[in-house]
Chains A and B, each alone.
Chain A
Amino acid sequence: MQFQLDINGETHALDLDTRTTLLDALREHLGLTGSKKGCDHGQCGACTVMVNGRRINSCLTLACMHEGDEITTIEGLGTPDALSPLQRAFVEHDGYQCGYCTSGQICSATAMLAEIEAGWPSNVTGDLEARVEASIEEISERMSGNLCRCSCYPGIVDAIRQVTKEEAGA
């Protein structure tokens, strides 16, 4: 099937089997290997990318369904010379050990902070109608779709908290 995908601001023409997931299209056909395949069943979050600003599991969606969507992968968030605030904070706080889950963690956290900014409540939010603070408890709950087998959760939470503090101070 022929279709186009808009990824990190560039349009790509593709001709793929309908079965191809967005994750496989990125990794196997477009050379964007930053997004990782962990479980391939939506349980680990290593494949997290943003579609129209929202985080999703790219392993659980078909590439051909995303014609016209704006897809952002880890490669679109920053570069080695110009890290995104979360990328820099993960380095500073040691938010990883092996690094396999990291691009998914950072894509997820980037969109998660926008969800807090938009006032979305979570399962641990006390008052559904109050303003949400990016507490440790809120961050942990909202990041539960991203597993880290090295268990670097304290560093991950610290990195995300640092970015929320920087943004609050800015």
Chain B
Amino acid sequence: MRAFDYVRAGDTGEALRQGAGEETRFIAGGTNLLDLMKLEVMAPGKLVDITRLDLGRIGETDEGGLRIGALVTNSDLAADARVRRDWPVLSRALLAGASGQLRNKATTGGNLLQRTRCYYFYDRGEPCNKREPGSGCAAQGGMNRILAILGTSDHCIATHPSDMAVAMQALGARVEIEGQDGAREVELSEFYRLPGDTPHIETVLAPGELITAVILPPPAGGRQVYRKVRDRSSYAFALVSVAAVVTVEEGRIARAQLAFGGLGPMPWRDARVEQALIGETPTKALFDRAADILLADAKGHGGNDFKIPLARRTLAAVLTQATEAAA
């Protein structure tokens, strides 16, 4: 690990002042950042410890949603009685991720900002445009079993590894951000960037900006499902995951909010898939049409070709479960 300066911030204002500078990173749970620093994939010159900031609470918003402080741990969020009752897809997604130890440390803001687990991003002996812009992408033509089939570019085929963010994407969450110029809110659907020719820039956060909270809209009701397919049944990243919030009224799908993990460089949501389902009677043929739309532009890279049919089957299984229970 490279040497760094360490500063403990007492409040958000101090964190933002200390956090300015290209070489500076905020640290909270640190479970991904420190791992990457040990491998010198990331080598910040200064860490600003934000764990003492007052961002560890879950509050209710005026519109009936939740405001989840950026420092709320994955464990506390998954166990929150309101989340379990009214946003169960989020509890399910959190509990499907990582281990008990990691969930106790990992925070809401940090989970959104965790980096890909692409092997080549971690391996400093191999080219990686995300780690070292312009060096190339060894994953294309390499081991790409866990990598993306949607939203990729010639420069990068990495996936975003979060489960939590997939559920938040399905729920239509917003991200609250503070910078030295003030606060702003961004839809989670607008928060991540496609890799294009700048895969090292992953979100719309400007240097020195801090995530302060995630806002959940009021409960959507309906049937909520999170299904994760992985190589072992616990403590593994998703090959494919689907978060679904579905309502059936009088035999027809009235609401369908779907997000996908393991498929793209961001928690993937495609409004065209949802539009194709709304107003229709749930049938296997309909679910297949939805998968056709989702996967129209899917591109396998050899080792991950299997994800295309796997995504189709996982979507069908989730929609079957979500519509059967409500029928």
Residues in chain A within 8 A of chain B (CB atoms)? 1, 17-19, 21, 40-42, 45, 48, 54-57, 60-62, 64-65, 108, 111-112, 115, 118-123, 125, 128-129, 140-146
Contact = CB atoms under 8 A, between A and B. Distances in A.
Nearest to A68: B52
A121 B79 contact: yes
A18 B84 CA distance: 38
B51 to A, nearest CB: 6
A142 B98 CA distance: 10
B306 interface: no
A145 B88 contact: no
A41 B101 contact: no
Nearest to B31: A60
B105 interface: yes
Contacts of B79: 118-121
Nearest to B2: A19
Given A19-B1, A121-B84, A142-B100, A54 B75 contact: yes
B223 interface: no
Interface centre among B34, B99, B235 (most CB of A within 10 A): B99
Contacts of B30: 60-62, 65
Contact of B99 (A18, A45, A140): A45
A129 B102 contact: no
Contacts of A42: 31, 35, 99, 101-102
Contacts of A19: 1, 3-4
A65 B49 contact: yes
B184 to A, nearest CB: 28
Nearest to B94: A123
Given A42-B102, A108-B100, A18 B6 contact: yes
A120 B88 CA distance: 13
B96 interface: yes
Contacts, number: 100
Interface of B: 1, 3-6, 8, 27, 30-31, 34-35, 38, 47, 49, 51, 75, 78-79, 81, 84-85, 88, 91-92, 95-96, 98-102, 104-105, 234-235
Contacts of B27: 62, 65
Nearest to A69: B51
B31 A145 contact: no
12 contacts: A18-B4, A19-B4, A45-B99, A56-B105, A61-B34, A61-B105, A62-B27, A62-B47, A120-B75, A121-B79, A128-B88, A143-B100
A135 B315 CA distance: 30
Contacts of B100: 55, 108, 111-112, 115, 142-145
A48 B100 CA distance: 10
B105 A121 contact: no
Nearest to A18: B6
A137 B57 CA distance: 31
B91 A128 contact: yes
A87 to B, nearest CB: 19
A48 B101 contact: yes
Contacts of B3: 17-19
Contacts of A62: 6, 27, 30, 34, 47
Contacts of A140: 234
Nearest to B7: A18
A55 B78 CA distance: 16
B303 to A, nearest CB: 22
Nearest to B102: A42
Contact of B96 (A120, A123, A128): A123
